[in-house]
Amino acid sequence: MISEKIILGIDPGTAIMGFGIISVKKGKMEMISIHELILKKYPNHETKLKYIFDKTLALIDEYHPDEVALEAPFYGKNVQSMLKLGRAQGVAMAASLYRNIPITEYSPKKIKMAITGNGNASKEQVAGMLQNLLKLKEFPTKYLDASDGLAVAVCHHFNSGTIADTKSYSGWDSFLKQNPDRLK
């Protein structure tokens, strides 16, 4: 039996990307770290993607997570925004798979439901519940994207061992087998 599990949660974004890392020991959660990447300052999308990849690898190499959980892109009206968000998610996934760390995707509603019990909860409500769940005196970041990354990690812990509306990949072969339409 594993005595400790470390989970890296990622909220992909192209303006701000949130990361949260938790440790689970004997079923008890503890926040290890919370980060956000401020990507607005980078001149183009390609530079942002490289930075996302590099930072995700750096977090993996520093904290050695056993699993990575990502928020799946939601369907919006702006196709260009969807495309950019999907690329950001793909780069974070690629970094995780490059280090052979299994990944799981969760829908935004699933994450909110796991944390607050309400799939339509606001970012502020999610952050407040995380503060309570993790027994934090104050929330360590002003960016709600970072708290969303933490929420993904906590959601993954709550859903560990359950079959849900998630997708899990243990490596490139697994990813390609479950997504044959992405192979060109």
Catalytic choice (11, 36, 67, 148): 11
pLDDT at 157: 96
Q: How high does pLDDT run on average in the chain?
A: 88
pLDDT at 142: 79
pLDDT at 81: 80
Examine the pLDDT at 75 and tell me if it is beyond 70: no
Examine the pLDDT at 84 and tell me if it is beyond 70: yes
Domain limits for position 159: 5-182
**If you search the block for the tokens 């243990």, which residue do you land on?**
170
pLDDT at 163: 46
Examine the pLDDT at 46 and tell me if it is beyond 70: yes
**Number of structural domains found in the chain:** 1
145 in catalytic set: yes
63: left (phi over 0), alpha (psi -120 to 50) or beta: alpha
Q: What does each C-alpha distance from 46 to 40, 54, 81, 87, 88 come to in angstroms? A: 12, 12, 14, 10, 10
Does 181 appear as a known binding residue?
no
11 in catalytic set: yes
Catalytic choice (36, 71, 105, 148): 71
Question: Average pLDDT in the 97-109 region?
Answer: 95
Does 11 appear as a known binding residue?
yes
Most confident of 19-33, 77-91, 127-141: 19-33
Reported as a single tens digit per residue, the pLDDT across 141-170 is 777 889 999 999 999 999 986 544 456 666
105 in catalytic set: no
Question: Average pLDDT in the 18-44 region?
Answer: 93
Question: Average pLDDT in the 109-122 region?
Answer: 94
Q: Which residue has the higher pLDDT, 107 or 175?
A: 107
CATH code of 92's domain = 3.30.420.10
From CA 44, how far away is CA 39, in angstroms rounded? 10
From CA 134, how far away is CA 33, in angstroms rounded? 12
3-state secondary structure at position 20: strand
Does 36 appear as a known binding residue?
no
